[in-house]
Amino acid sequence: MGRQRNQKAALLSKPIKHIDIQNFDSTLLIDAMDSMSFSSRELSKGTTIFNDMLRDKDCTIILTLAGSTSAAGCMKIYSDLVKYNMVDVIVATGASIVDMDFFEALGFRHYQAEKTVSDEKLRSLYINRIYDTYIDEKELQICDKTISKIAKSLQPRPYSSREFIAEMGKWLVKNSKKRDSLVQTAYEHGVPIFCPAFTDSSAGFGLVHHQVKNPKKHLTIDSVRDFREITEIKIRSKESGLFMIGGGVPKNFAQDTVICAEILDRKTKMHKYAVQITVADVRDGSCSSSTLKEASSWGKVDTAKEQMIYAEATTVLPLIASQAFHGKNWEHRKRFQYNRLLEELS
């Protein structure tokens, strides 16, 4: 056992350091890329569109997160986008919010991986791997049970994922070990976080634990209410823009608000602005790879100001966010604080 502990400690010895967009200004680099081609010019045009969203005083900006960029070093970027009023709504995978952000708020870390170690060896040490990143499985189980603990403290009724994540943020105000988590920052600034596939994460394990331990008195997650709530935000927004990291469920969930509003006989516009960063191959017909022009055929996204950026997100997201931060178009935006609106509608 002592040898295994030493091996595990050695492998979990290089914590991921989250990049700080305030420490560098990418403006000159992105301006230069505008005169280049391929992904460089896509990046420059995408950055311009994101700044158009920030300048548009009527625009609700929706950030969607899929994949593991939070674990890979982009976690502070997302909390800063909220802190500096560059994002009004978040739609994310449960893993991005719980297994990564909330997990680190509890004082745990992600680690750079050693590629020469076999996955069989990692399993014997209870180390989980995300490509070249490690997570301590035993710490994840603490995260699972913390979700169960929060659930037990709440009134047993159906909650949207947004409501439950707000309760997680409220809990972190008193209990967090790391103060700049996305979950807590969003809670403090009234920014709603939706996880339409919430149980596909540590939240799922924690909530199953909660229900099994409290068979007659437990809460549930109402995913239909999630969709109704975010559609209400879209209906009340004069304009809207999508800033999408990856694709998957978060991308489609945010785009589908236009169609849901139509089904409800409520007039609303297509999303006026859209930027997606992805490495997905368009030929497989999936949601992740579908182009924003394709989304226009469904009535979801206007094609006047849209840009696909074909790149791995950790390489380009810091550049876009840094330029937007130093460009300061966020300084004169009002905070929509949609959590307050949704609480009033409850």
Query: Which residues are identified as catalytic?
Result: 300
Among residues 253, 244, 317, the alpha carbon closest in space to that of 75 is found at: 317
Cα–Cα distances (Å) from 325 to 20, 22, 63, 144, 253, in that order, read 11, 7, 15, 34, 27
Q: What is the dihedral of CA 300, 303, 306, 312, to 10 degrees?
A: 70
48 token code pair = 């311009």
Distance CA 84, CA 22 (A): 11
At 166 the three-state DSSP class reads helix
Q: Could you tell me which residues are beta bridge partners of residue 149? A: none
DSSP state of 26: -
Residues 6+ apart with CB under 8 A from 38: none
Tell me how far apart the 2 most distant CA atoms of the chain are, in Å. 65
Q: Which helix (H) or strand (E) holds 300?
A: none
Residue 273 CB neighbours (<10 A): 26
3-state secondary structure of 267: coil
Residue 186: name the closest of 209, 162, 155, 157 by CA.
Answer: 162
